Amino acid sequence: MATPQLEFDSDVRGRIYRYVERHGSATREEVRDAVRVSEAAESKPARSGTEPSVRLPVEEFNRHVAALTDDGHLTEREGRLSVEPDAESESHETDDFEYEVRPAREDDRQAVADLIREVADEGAIVVDERVAETIERDGALIRRNERESRMVFVAERIDRDEDDGETREIVGWVHLQGFELPARDHTVELTVGVAPEYRERGIGGTLLERGMAWADEGDYLKVYQSLPATNDEALDLLDEYGWTREATRADHYRVEGQLVDEVQMAKRLDD
């Protein structure tokens, strides 16, 4: 399974879901105003320019939203609807602090993009420059539609204080991007990174395992990523988890003014 085959009980529910999925998150009123139906038959979508369109009655609209949330397609947090990732949160500990690996939420989008850019600026994972741009430009962090599947998990440090309460900080991520092309729909591109000050604590390995588990659960056959040959830390991590070096492209990146080889890494999930 590369991209999910989504099924809805009605056209209206499908349109509600697709609006929220495309925009990342939205209030009920924003969705209700956008997903209009024919005035003559409220169950049919309006045809732009050919007949009057109306908003669904509030009670009927809320029933559709309730069904979508009950079925696990959408969630609602602080008054905004968003796509509900099909994954659980997991608690972990280092010698110094507790952290949680959880599905990213739409309100994490800027923090994730900023962290990706911080790591990309080191020249460690060049492809992440594109990932950060896509996250900021695309309008949604998590994508789950008939053409595309994108998942992000974050590692979030948790500190608890009797006076200040609980504080959280995103310190790492793993990003997975599926492709809609039939020839590549069995593959998923994975990138993973940790903030510099939180490395050497096992967080990168935990995120890598979580991302690979998600890909395996989704019936992908292969995960892959490309790295500069100078990123010994990431290459050693992937070697440790059984990834193989499929190819090397000479002088493929320019990092800090120097030409650097690209190492193409991959792991089969059906072995």
Domain boundary among 54, 83, 112: 83
Domain membership of residue 1 (yes or no) is: no
Domain boundary among 63, 83, 103: 83
Task: Please tell me whether residues 192 and 148 are part of one structural domain.
Answer: yes
Q: What is the mean pLDDT of the chain?
A: 88
Task: Please tell me whether residues 156 and 57 are part of one structural domain.
Answer: no
**What is the pLDDT, as a whole number, of residue 2?**
44
- What confidence tier does 39 reach under pLDDT thresholds 50, 70, 90? confident
Mean pLDDT of 124-128: 60
Domain membership of residue 232 (yes or no) is: yes
Domain membership of residue 5 (yes or no) is: no
DSSP-assigned beta bridge partners for residue 74: 83
Domain membership of residue 6 (yes or no) is: no
Please give the structure tokens belonging to residue 190. 């994975």
CATH number at residue 17: 1.10.10
Of all helices (H) and strands (E), which one includes residue 28? Answer: helix 28-34
**What is the pLDDT, as a whole number, of residue 137?**
84
Task: Please tell me whether residues 103 and 151 are part of one structural domain.
Answer: yes
**What is the pLDDT, as a whole number, of residue 96?**
92
Task: Please tell me whether residues 263 and 137 are part of one structural domain.
Answer: yes
Mean pLDDT of 196-217: 95
- What confidence tier does 61 reach under pLDDT thresholds 50, 70, 90? very high
Please give the structure tokens belonging to residue 101. 């690996």
Maximum C-alpha span of the chain:
66
Domain membership of residue 64 (yes or no) is: yes
* Residue 35 contacts residue 10 (beta carbons within 8 Å): no
DSSP 45: B
Task: Please tell me whether residues 131 and 246 are part of one structural domain.
Answer: yes
Residues in the chain: 271
**What is the pLDDT, as a whole number, of residue 122?**
76
Q: What is the dihedral of CA 200, 202, 204, 207, to 10 degrees?
A: -170
At 1-36, the pLDDT tens digits run 444 567 898 999 999 999 999 999 999 999 999 999
Task: Please tell me whether residues 58 and 191 are part of one structural domain.
Answer: no
Mean pLDDT of 134-142: 85
Q: What is the dihedral of CA 42, 43, 45, 46, to 10 degrees?
A: -20
CB atoms within 10 A of CB 256: 8
Highest mean pLDDT among 127-141, 155-169, 236-250: 236-250
Domain span including residue 16 = 11-83
Task: Please tell me whether residues 100 and 208 are part of one structural domain.
Answer: yes
Q: CA quadruple 53, 58, 62, 63: dihedral positive or negative? A: negative
Q: Where does residue 113 fall: left (phi above 0), alpha (psi -120 to 50 degrees), or beta otherwise?
A: alpha
- Give the residue with greater pLDDT, 248 vs 140: 248
**What is the pLDDT, as a whole number, of residue 256?**
81
- What confidence tier does 53 reach under pLDDT thresholds 50, 70, 90? confident
Task: Please tell me whether residues 48 and 104 are part of one structural domain.
Answer: no
What's the domain count of the chain? 2
Please give the structure tokens belonging to residue 132. 């950060």
Task: Please tell me whether residues 136 and 247 are part of one structural domain.
Answer: yes
pTM, two decimal places: 0.87
Any idea which of 45-49, 87-91, 218-222 has the lowest mean pLDDT? 45-49
Domain membership of residue 106 (yes or no) is: yes
- What confidence tier does 125 reach under pLDDT thresholds 50, 70, 90? low
Domain boundary among 39, 59, 83: 83
Mean pLDDT of 123-139: 74
User: Is the pLDDT at 63 greater than 60, yes or no?
Assistant: yes
Domain membership of residue 56 (yes or no) is: yes
Task: Please tell me whether residues 166 and 239 are part of one structural domain.
Answer: yes
> What does DSSP say about strands 244-255 and 222-228: parallel, antiparallel, or unpaired?
unpaired
Could you give phi then psi for residue 29, rounded to 5 degrees?
-65, -35
Q: Using CB atoms within 10 A of its CB, is residue 86 exposed (0-12), middle (13-18) or buried (19+)?
A: middle
* Residue whose structure tokens are 């492209």: 249
Does residue 248 sit in helix, strand or coil? Answer: strand
**What is the pLDDT, as a whole number, of residue 42?**
52
Which letter, b or e, does each residue of 58-68 get, where b requires 16 or more Cβ atoms within 10 Å of its Cβ? eeebeebbebb
Domain membership of residue 4 (yes or no) is: no
Task: Please tell me whether residues 130 and 73 are part of one structural domain.
Answer: no
CATH number at residue 125: 3.40.630.30
Task: Please tell me whether residues 166 and 220 are part of one structural domain.
Answer: yes
DSSP-assigned beta bridge partners for residue 191: 175
At 150-205, the pLDDT tens digits run 999 999 999 988 777 899 999 999 999 987 777 888 999 999 999 999 999 999 99
CA 242 to CA 209: how far, in whole Å? 11
Highest mean pLDDT among 35-49, 120-134, 193-207: 193-207
